[in-house]
Structure 1
Amino acid sequence: MLSRGGAGSPPSAEPAAGRLEEAELYRPLTINFGSLALPPTLRLLQRWNESLGDSETFYGLFGFYLQTGGFRYANTPCDAVVFGSTGMDGIHFALLTDFGRSADLEQAPVICVSPMEFDDPSTVIARNLREFLSYGEQDWALFYNVFADERQWRSFQEKSAREQAESQWRRSDEEESRLGALRKQFLAEAGLSAMADGWTNLQAVRLERAERRSIPTADSLGVIEPAEPGWNGTLPPLGRDTSPDESELEPWLRQAPRHARLAAIRLLQHHGLSPALAALLADELQALGLGEDALRLLFE
């Protein structure tokens, strides 16, 4: 059985101290990506981050700090590969593998994880990384705020623009010009165009996601694994105020179809896991052939 803290443990024949330190240094990166290759667009971001030599300029261009190692929260989906964080309230961005169905991370959907938003911490915000980078700075607030409708969103934009113009911390005209030039340079190098309407695009992305789900879950991601015929559609009673009985959950997992088991795992992680429950679900992921997801689930 896998257990917390045991994921990725070194072999019993202890390597030399230098090699062990190097292994520990790269362990978070290894667990985050597993056997998946870094997508070309993420490699481009890494090159820009290195050439700029300034994380704040990178943030000004893209709205996040590059994070490809051990940046995870308890409710970060175990099938998500983290690539960036905003530096606020633990909010971070990740590529969703959909439990192994999106092995090409260049094509994987992008999600925003807001750990403090307990009702709906994870939402899809782009079809892929390239689309995510096409959003403009004026759209970034869409990722981690909830707006009832477009009117409320447009009102928020207008208010934010006024406050920014009056702020003593606003950028200078020179800095705005510099970032604008860098932004155009990046879009040209990446072969991207600036998105015309972030609100409309985001609504389309989320509608497409909802239509693809075979089972919806509380975090709005759902599961896109094809549904197996003959299943009655019933998940065990799971919720923030409902602590599952492991003695009942384990036999349910053994008899449930694959897509239902994945939905239960997503829902349980959404509400938080005890160490014993995390170990049980990690074993289930292993049995489903999702060992890398199991390691992410257990990573601390």
Structure 2
Amino acid sequence: MNRLNYYGKYSVPETVRQLWEFEEELRQDGYSLDLDLGLIMTKEDIRYMSTPPDVIPFASCGVDGIHYGFLTDFGMVPDLEQAYIVSVSPMNFDQEVWLVASNIHNFLRVVFTENSMLYNYFSGVEQYISHQRHREQEEIEERIVRAKHKLQQRFSLEPMADMGDYLVRLEQKRQAEVVFPTRYLSGIIQTSSACEHQRLMIDAVKDGPDPEDVEFFFMNASVESRLAFIRDAQSKHLLDRPQLRESVIKGMVDMGLADEAERLNRSYDYQEQTIEISDKNEIASIVWYTDDSTND
């Protein structure tokens, strides 16, 4: 299976397909990728209101809706094998999204070495060290040790020598690439030749800006500015307003982000409605969701 619908333009990465195979190998040997290694592989689009539209989920941990996905940087990543991996925790209202690996191979190294950062957000290395210091020492079951050994052999994994240092280097790497910050650490990378970026304020009004202001902003702001607004508006849960979400989705399609627009729609559970949007090159038909009983 090279493609899944929700992957959009991307093929399923080779490592994900190998994990599907490895899951079956473990099962035949009496082990479980879920129970022994904390990974539940998925072929469905796990998506909550906090799941960024440029994140493609591939696994979850089975607790509190926490899931892991490839950060495509709005389609700029050429190969998902090299995409950052993020953790999305819908119940962690202070920080719902954070980086956990620079690519899927390093993600598996984290799974093998010490996986607490996959379901806990640490604002810095000091917090991680404090968490580990106060964490109850649990004896690791022999079957988990054996399952980890199988994972290590199957994917040629080197353990992380220092998880605190790894956290620091991961953040430094990402921040060196970001040209416009957003509420969550992922930020926006350079996607155009623009040198100046603007921010549409979303905190001045409780429910966010008017849809008309968003449409004007999308017509005049840099690409990076628009992408930052999408991230921040979603992270502030402003896009549950149907009219505001409609303006954002139309703007995304006009930017050539039809895959991301469809993913954003799937984050909201509303009445289904089809909208046709035309541009110079083609007519794009996307699905968005509106609640006719909601008054903005």
TM-score band by shorter chain is: 0.7 to 0.9
Residue 179 of structure 2 aligns to a residue in which SS?
A: coil
Residue 218 of structure 1 aligns to a residue in which SS?
A: coil
Q: Which has the higher contact order (CA 8 A, sep 6+)?
A: 1
Residue 217 of structure 1 aligns to a residue in which SS?
A: coil
Residue 106 of structure 1 aligns to a residue in which SS?
A: helix
Deviation at 1:61, TM superposition (A): 4.2
Deviation at 1:126, TM superposition (A): 0.5
> Counterpart of 1:262?
227
Could you tell me which amino acid in structure 2 is paired with residue 234 of structure 1? Answer: Q
2:100 maps to 1:130: no
> Counterpart of 1:284?
251
Could you tell me which amino acid in structure 1 is paired with residue 119 of structure 2? Answer: Y
2:202 maps to 1:238: yes
12, 26, 30: which one aligns with 1:52: 26
Taking structure 1 as reference, are residues 62 and 284 closer, same or farther at Cα in structure 2, changes over 3 Å only? farther
Of residues 244-253 and 268-277 in structure 1, the stretch that sits farther from structure 2 once superposed is 268-277
Could you tell me which amino acid in structure 2 is paired with residue 288 of structure 1? Answer: M
82, 95, 99: which one aligns with 2:70: 95
For 1:197 and 1:136, the matched residues in 2 are separated by 14
5+ residue gaps, structure 2: 270-296
Give per-residue Cα distances to partners, 1:131-160, cap 9 Å, x unaligned. Answer: 010014663222332446545433432443
Give per-residue Cα distances to partners, 1:103-126, cap 9 Å, x unaligned. Answer: 311111000111122333111111
For 2:121 and 2:97, the matched residues in 1 are separated by 12
Conserved 8 A contact 2:55-2:70: yes
Could you tell me which amino acid in structure 1 is paired with residue 132 of structure 2? Answer: Q
Could you tell me which amino acid in structure 2 is paired with residue 122 of structure 1? Answer: V
Taking structure 1 as reference, are residues 194 and 139 closer, same or farther at Cα in structure 2, changes over 3 Å only? same
Taking structure 1 as reference, are residues 101 and 230 closer, same or farther at Cα in structure 2, changes over 3 Å only? closer
> Counterpart of 2:289?
none
Give per-residue Cα distances to partners, 1:46-85, cap 9 Å, x unaligned. Answer: 1122233399821244322112312100110000000111
Residue 229 of structure 2 aligns to a residue in which SS?
A: helix
Conserved 8 A contact 1:95-1:110: yes
Query: RMSD across aligned C-alpha pairs, in angstroms?
Result: 2.6
145, 157, 164: which one aligns with 1:192: 157
For 2:194 and 2:125, the matched residues in 1 are separated by 39
Of residues 132-141 and 277-286 in structure 1, the stretch that sits farther from structure 2 once superposed is 132-141
> Counterpart of 1:107?
82
Could you tell me which amino acid in structure 2 is paired with residue 298 of structure 1? Answer: N
Q: How does 1:195-210 map to 2 (within 5 A)?
A: 195-210=160-175
Q: How does 1:134-283 map to 2 (within 5 A)?
A: 134-136=109-111, 139-147=114-122, 150-162=125-137, 164-165=138-139, 176-226=141-191, 228-229=193-194, 231=196, 233-239=197-203, 241-272=206-237, 273=239, 274-283=241-250
For 2:206 and 2:38, the matched residues in 1 are separated by 35
Q: Which has the higher helix share?
A: 1
Deviation at 1:291, TM superposition (A): 1.0
Could you tell me which amino acid in structure 1 is paired with residue 88 of structure 2? Answer: V
Residue 112 of structure 1 aligns to a residue in which SS?
A: strand
2:269 maps to 1:295: no
Q: Which has the higher strand share?
A: 2
Residue 135 of structure 2 aligns to a residue in which SS?
A: helix
> Counterpart of 1:65?
40
> Counterpart of 1:39?
13
5+ residue gaps, structure 1: 1-25, 166-170
Give per-residue Cα distances to partners, 1:187-235, cap 9 Å, x unaligned. Answer: 222122122222211221112112211110001211103464453x331
Aligned residues: 262
Could you tell me which amino acid in structure 1 is paired with residue 117 of structure 2? Answer: L
Taking structure 1 as reference, are residues 246 and 215 closer, same or farther at Cα in structure 2, changes over 3 Å only? same
Conserved 8 A contact 1:120-1:220: no
Conserved 8 A contact 2:86-2:98: yes
Identity %: 29
Q: TM-score of the superposition, structure 2-length normalised? A: 0.80
